[in-house]
């Protein structure tokens, strides 16, 4: 009997661990992580291009902090959306772990807090290197990981998701990374931050356009809900086009080779635009979301190559 009980316990543990890992992976939303990785990657490339210096430890801590905040934001979003009833059976996107019952809300919230703790640990190292500006960047970023969907003024429910991404996953993330590496705030970092912020916002815009009908019934007033599908398409068009053509400013900054990085953005952007204009909201938009992540990565790769060989 005792051996049988041990077998049952072991069998239950064997099945529970993969299920927990799958739920955590779903809640982390891996397809959104390029929005955290690319700003640090490209920011480090720009810092090296401008100063000739690169600190691997600071780069790893910046990347670790950004990824941890992104994952924490996704976990908070999963739990809070379920509590507010924003994730329903009509959902067209990937399964949400809280709404589907794969994990309890309190467990998801605790995991989100754990990742914020990891971000703080990375921030301590960065603070020791660069001082108070890290606190000025870090505190709003930590708060908005929760405040994006929670708190008294949830940005995602007020149609401010795209603006939040452009500012924090573009301008703040890139200029902050360059500051961490160089100790300065060059104008080039703001240009790069704008490009990356706009390309990251494409992910949010595709997601919101896909979920427009569901969000309209649950009180989530995204731009796509407020102004309809035509405006939602126009927003994505503007994000892609401005990101691509803003790269021409690199010529004025005496770095003409870096303007080349906008070419793949323009080409992939055409494919994304064709998709959002022709596909009905559904599984096809999940593929477009993945393509938006690829677009972001290819931009960073092209920027890296242009910086090294330009």
The percent of residues above 90 in pLDDT, for the chain, comes to 65
Please give the class, per CATH, of domain 31-95+102-309.
mainly alpha
Segment 45-50 mean pLDDT: 97
More confident residue, 177 or 20: 177
- Tell me the per-residue pLDDT of 74-104, one tens digit each, with 9 for 90 and over: 999 989 888 877 665 555 667 778 888 888 8
The two structure tokens encoding residue 107: 């467990």
Q: Is 73 helix (H, G, I), strand (E, B) or coil?
A: helix
> pLDDT value at position 39?
97
- Tell me the per-residue pLDDT of 55-70, one tens digit each, with 9 for 90 and over: 999 999 999 999 999 9
Give the ranges where 161-278 is alpha helix by DSSP (H): 161-166, 173-182, 187-210, 212-218, 223-227, 229-245, 249-252, 262-278
> pLDDT value at position 24?
86
Query: Is the pLDDT at 14 greater than 60, yes or no?
Result: no
Task: Give the whole-angstrom CA distance, residue 269 versus residue 114.
Answer: 36
Q: What is the mean pLDDT of the chain?
A: 89
- Tell me the per-residue pLDDT of 198-217, one tens digit each, with 9 for 90 and over: 999 999 999 899 888 888 88
Q: Where are the domains of the chain?
A: 31-95+102-309
Query: Is the pLDDT at 240 greater than 50, yes or no?
Result: yes
Torsion of CA 101, 102, 105, 111, to 10 degrees: -170
Query: Is the pLDDT at 262 greater than 50, yes or no?
Result: yes
> pLDDT value at position 8?
44
Segment 244-255 mean pLDDT: 94
Q: Which residues contact 288 (CB under 8 A, 6 or more apart)?
A: 206, 272, 275, 276, 279
More confident residue, 14 or 206: 206
- Tell me the per-residue pLDDT of 123-171, one tens digit each, with 9 for 90 and over: 999 999 999 999 999 999 999 999 998 888 888 888 999 999 999 999 9
pTM above 0.95, yes or no: no
């Amino acid at each position: 009997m005792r051996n049988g009980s041990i077998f049952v316990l072991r069998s239950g543990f064997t099945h529970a661990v993969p299920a927990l890992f799958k739920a955590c992976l779903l809640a982390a939303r891996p397809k959104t992580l390029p929005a955290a990785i690319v700003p640090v990657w490209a920011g480090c490339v720009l810092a090296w291009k401008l100063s000739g210096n690169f600190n691997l430890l600071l780069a790893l801590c910046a990347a670790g902090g950004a990824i941890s905040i992104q994952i924490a934001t996704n976990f908070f979003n999963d739990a809070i959306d379920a509590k507010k009833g924003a994730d329903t059976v009509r959902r067209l996107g990937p399964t949400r772990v809280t709404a589907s019952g794969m994990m309890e809300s309190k467990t998801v919230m605790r995991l989100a807090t754990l990742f914020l703790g990891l971000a703080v640990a990375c921030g301590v190292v960065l603070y020791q290197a660069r001082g108070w500006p890290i606190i000025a960047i870090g505190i709003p970023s930590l708060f908005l990981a929760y405040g994006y969907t929670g708190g008294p003024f949830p940005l995602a429910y007020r149609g401010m998701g795209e603006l939040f991404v452009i500012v924090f996953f573009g301008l703040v993330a890139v200029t902050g990374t360059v500051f961490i590496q160089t100790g300065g705030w060059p104008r080039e970092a703001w240009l790069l931050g704008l490009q990356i912020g706009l390309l990251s916002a494409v992910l949010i815009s595709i997601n919101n356009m896909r979920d427009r009908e569901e969000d309209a019934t649950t009180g989530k007033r995204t731009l796509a809900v407020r102004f309809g599908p035509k405006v939602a398409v126009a927003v994505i068009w503007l994000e892609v086009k401005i990101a691509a053509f803003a790269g021409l400013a690199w010529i004025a900054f005496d770095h003409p080779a870096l303007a080349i990085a906008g070419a793949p953005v323009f080409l992939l952007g055409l494919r994304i635009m064709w998709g959002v204009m022709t596909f009905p909201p559904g599984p096809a938009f999940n593929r477009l979301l993945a393509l938006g992540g690829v677009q972001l990565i290819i931009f960073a790769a092209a920027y890296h190559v242009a910086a090294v060989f330009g």
